[in-house]
Amino acid sequence: MSQNDLKPERFAGYPPDARKVVTDHLATLQRLPLSFLPGLLRELIDFDYKFPAERRARERELAHLSSLPAAEWTEWFKGFQQIQLSKALEDFDWIKSPAQFVERLSAHLWASHQLDAFRQASNDYADRLRAAVPPEPPPVPRLGISIIGQGVASYDQPLFRKLRAHGAYYKHIKPEYGLRQLLDAVAIRAKAHPLPYGHWYIDGGESAAHDPTLTAISYSDLEPVRNVVLRKMQEEIDKPGMGPEALRTIMAQMRPSDLGMDKLNGGKPDEVLRRFEVSVLTEGSGTQIFSTVFAQWAAREALRRAQPLTLLVRFAPRQRQRPMNELLSTEARVPPELDPIGSLVDGDFAAYYNWLNQQRLPGAEQSCFIVWFEGSNQALAIGPTTPRGTESASVADLKQVLAWTL
């Protein structure tokens, strides 16, 4: 299969918005090297289920590529042109199954020692694109909040170690109503700056009461879906000849209806969010079994894809580590034993990743971030005017810290 096979009728199986965006840019796509094109199609085939920020970014990218002069085009794709593909890859139906092609391409790149060259070509492309089509700045500075340590009464080890150099450490926080104050602040922002999928609340346990304008997902709400995912995983593992790569492919093809999600929430349709939830559970490693991992990965993906203005992530105790086969089992059993201290350590480091991932988005220099050890008097705040590497002895509640930081 070659780029010449890119004809409108070949995209009949794509959802309507995806079909339109592909056929609108067919001439551009036909010029792309085969080491690059299926990766782009993998994104476009799910165009109908992408968040607004992703859709805008793809449309701007395609518009720019369409207008790229020939000399620049050569320069932009020189690295990808030099990647040698196998006959099997060239013959693969990458129009119908671009994601599977990309998986096979990845294995081929590793085995043929071309991964570094591909990685360089990808980085060069991303740099050029960023320079030519700068990401859109957010309408207001972003705010990230991480709440860690639920269920831990006291902890004598230092927290927020990876973040302290970047902000102010508060050690006399008044913890009363802290969660409510943070959720209220998020709700106020959501109402003041309404934006589809712009304000998120991710909970690693049971959601607290929250404003309905927030895009909210929780580990607890997804328990029935997680159980279906785990059961399907076990069924696949038990099949002869099944291996991790084949299983990953099968997982990546799961849709909300495969997991019974069309019956959840009274059948309320939000296919974009449902697909996001499925991707967290099927593409994230460990998200099905550890609530802290679920919360971190969901936050990473929300930031990367939806680019929210506000993201509150609350970590909850995960189950204690047990043998993997047992963790994957959905058989009825007593509630699993929890590991609150381990979860605090997980959450502490995950908060650092939440901040890192937020800082990768446009407007990073104005972004704010707060992490709070839930129920305790320890918090840390990072903001454009917050002095770095400082420690505050002020007695304050989280509402006050928010006001100082934003």
Task: For residue 355, give the H/E element and its range.
Answer: helix 340-359
Residue 29 Cα distances to 38, 44, 62, 285, angstroms: 10, 11, 9, 32
Handedness of CA 388, 392, 398, 403 (dihedral sign): negative
Binding piece for other proteins, criterion CB under 8 A, among 52-60, 64-72, 82-90, 286-294 = 286-294
For other proteins, the binding residue among 63, 107, 192, 403 (CB under 8 A) is 107
Binding piece for other proteins, criterion CB under 8 A, among 43-51, 57-65, 213-221, 322-330 = 322-330
For other proteins, the binding residue among 150, 292, 307, 310 (CB under 8 A) is 292
144-203 positions binding other proteins, by CB under 8 A: 161
Q: What are phi and psi of 44, to 5 degrees?
A: -70, -30
- Note whether 290 binds other proteins by CB under 8 A: yes
Q: Binding marks (x or -) toward other proteins, 64..103, rule CB under 8 A?
A: ----------------------------------------
User: DSSP letter string over 77-125?
Assistant: HHHHHTPPPPHHHHHS-TTT-HHHHHHHHHHHHHHTT-HHHHHHHHHHH
User: DSSP letter string over 209-225?
Assistant: P--TTSEEEETTTTHHH
- Note whether 116 binds other proteins by CB under 8 A: yes
User: DSSP letter string over 287-348?
Assistant: TTT-HHHHHHHHHHHIIIII--SEEEEE--PPBPP--HHHHH--S--SPPPB-HHHHHHHHH
Closest CB 251 distance from other proteins, rounded Å: 7
For 306, half-sphere exposure in the C-beta direction (CA atoms, 13 angstrom radius) is: 27
359-378 positions binding other proteins, by CB under 8 A: 359-360, 364
Cβ closest to other proteins, residue 73 vs residue 353: 353
Under 8 Å between Cβ of 225 and 260? yes
Residue 347 Cα distances to 135, 232, 323, 350, angstroms: 29, 28, 22, 5
Q: How many residues in the chain?
A: 406
Round to whole Å and give the CA distance between 117 and 226.
Answer: 38
Cβ closest to other proteins, residue 68 vs residue 328: 328
For other proteins, the binding residue among 78, 119, 130, 263 (CB under 8 A) is 119
Residues 133-147 as b/e (b if ≥16 CB within 10 A, e otherwise) read: eebeebebbbbbbbb
- Note whether 288 binds other proteins by CB under 8 A: yes
Cβ closest to other proteins, residue 129 vs residue 247: 247
Cβ closest to other proteins, residue 85 vs residue 289: 289
- Note whether 321 binds other proteins by CB under 8 A: yes
Cβ closest to other proteins, residue 190 vs residue 303: 303
Closest CB 405 distance from other proteins, rounded Å: 18
For other proteins, the binding residue among 322, 337, 387, 403 (CB under 8 A) is 322
For other proteins, the binding residue among 345, 366, 377, 396 (CB under 8 A) is 345
Cβ closest to other proteins, residue 23 vs residue 359: 359
For other proteins, the binding residue among 326, 337, 389, 403 (CB under 8 A) is 326
Residue type, 175: P
Round to whole Å and give the CA distance between 346 and 299.
Answer: 14
Binding piece for other proteins, criterion CB under 8 A, among 30-38, 261-269, 348-356, 378-386 = 348-356
Cβ closest to other proteins, residue 72 vs residue 236: 236
Under 8 Å between Cβ of 146 and 354? yes
Q: Among candidates 149, 96, 62, which has minimal Cα distance to 349?
A: 149
147 beta partners? 314, 372
Closest CB 6 distance from other proteins, rounded Å: 26
- Note whether 336 binds other proteins by CB under 8 A: no
Closest CB 239 distance from other proteins, rounded Å: 11
User: Angle at which helices 271-283 and 223-237 pack, to 10 degrees?
Assistant: 50
Q: Binding marks (x or -) toward other proteins, 214..243, rule CB under 8 A?
A: -------------------x--xx----xx
| Binding-site ranges for other proteins (CB under 8 A) | 107, 110-113, 115-116, 119, 161, 233, 236-237, 242-245, 247-248, 251, 284-290, 292-293, 296-297, 300, 304, 318, 321-328, 339, 341-343, 345-346, 348-350, 353, 356-357, 359-360, 364
